[in-house]
Structure 1
Amino acid sequence: MELHKINKPLDAINTILSYFPVSQPSLLEPGQTLPIKSKNDRSCRKIYFLLEGALISSVGEEEKKQNLGIIMGPSIIGLTQLAPTSAIAQHKAIAPCMIDSISVEDFIKVVEENQLWPDVINIMVTIINSLAARTATSGLQSAYEIIRSYLIYMDSENACAIKERYTVVKYMQTFSRLSRSIILKILSELKAGGFIEMHKGRLIRINRNLPDRF
Structure 2
Amino acid sequence: MDLKALEKPLASIENILSHFPVNQPCLIETGQTLPTAARNGAPPGKIVFLLSGAMICALGEGDKKQNLAIVTGPSILGLGQLAPSGAIAQYEAIAPCMVYSVGVDKFIKIVEENRLWPDVMKIMLTIVNTLVARTAASGLQSAYDIIRSYLIYMDRETAYSLKERYTVVKYMQTFSRLSRSIILKILAELKAGGFIEMKKGKLIRINRNLPEKF
Q: CA deviation at 1:208?
A: 2.4
Deviations 1:29-52 (A, max 9, x none): 2222201338x937x511001112
Q: CA deviation at 1:172?
A: 0.8
Secondary structure in structure 2 of the residue aligned to 1:109: helix
- Structure 1 residues 141-150 or 46-55, which shifts more? 141-150
Q: CA deviation at 1:156?
A: 5.2
Secondary structure in structure 1 of the residue aligned to 2:140: coil
Corresponding residue for 1:79? 79
Secondary structure in structure 2 of the residue aligned to 1:85: coil
Corresponding residue for 1:35? 35
Corresponding residue for 1:197? 196
Corresponding residue for 2:208? 207
Residue type of the alignment partner of 1:92: E
Secondary structure in structure 2 of the residue aligned to 1:33: coil
Aligned residues: 210
Corresponding residue for 2:67? 67
* Residue 48 in structure 1 maps to residue 54 in structure 2: no
CA distance 1:37–1:100, change in 2 (3 Å): same
Q: CA RMSD in A?
A: 2.5
Q: CA deviation at 1:19?
A: 0.8
TM-score by length of 2: 0.84
Structure 2 matches for 1:122-137, cutoff 5 A? 122-137=122-137
Task: Return the alpha-carbon distance in structure 2 between the equivalents of residues 102 and 85 of structure 1.
Answer: 20
Return 5+ residue gaps in structure 2 as ranges: none
Corresponding residue for 1:119? 119
Residue type of the alignment partner of 1:96: P
Residue type of the alignment partner of 1:59: L
Task: Return the alpha-carbon distance in structure 2 between the equivalents of residues 137 and 204 of structure 1.
Answer: 25
TM-score by length of 1: 0.84
Indicate if the aligned counterparts of 1:55 and 1:94 stay in contact, CA closer than 8 A. Answer: yes
Task: Return the alpha-carbon distance in structure 2 between the equivalents of residues 155 and 89 of structure 1.
Answer: 27
Deviations 1:153-200 (A, max 9, x none): 445556655445433322211001112221121122234445x43343
CA distance 1:11–1:166, change in 2 (3 Å): farther
Deviations 1:99-146 (A, max 9, x none): 111111111111122222222122112211221232223323632232
Task: Return the alpha-carbon distance in structure 1 between the equivalents of residues 31 and 55 of structure 2.
Answer: 9
Indicate if the aligned counterparts of 1:70 and 1:160 stay in contact, CA closer than 8 A. Answer: no
Corresponding residue for 1:181? 181
Task: Return the alpha-carbon distance in structure 1 between the equivalents of residues 17 and 205 of structure 2.
Answer: 34
Task: Return the alpha-carbon distance in structure 2 between the equivalents of residues 176 and 58 of structure 1.
Answer: 12
Task: Return the alpha-carbon distance in structure 2 between the equivalents of residues 154 and 29 of structure 1.
Answer: 22
Task: Return the alpha-carbon distance in structure 2 between the equivalents of residues 130 and 160 of structure 1.
Answer: 21
Indicate if the aligned counterparts of 1:51 and 1:75 stay in contact, CA closer than 8 A. Answer: yes
Return 5+ residue gaps in structure 1 as ranges: none
Task: Return the alpha-carbon distance in structure 1 between the equivalents of residues 7 and 162 of structure 2.
Answer: 15
Percent identity between the aligned chains? 63
Residue type of the alignment partner of 1:208: N
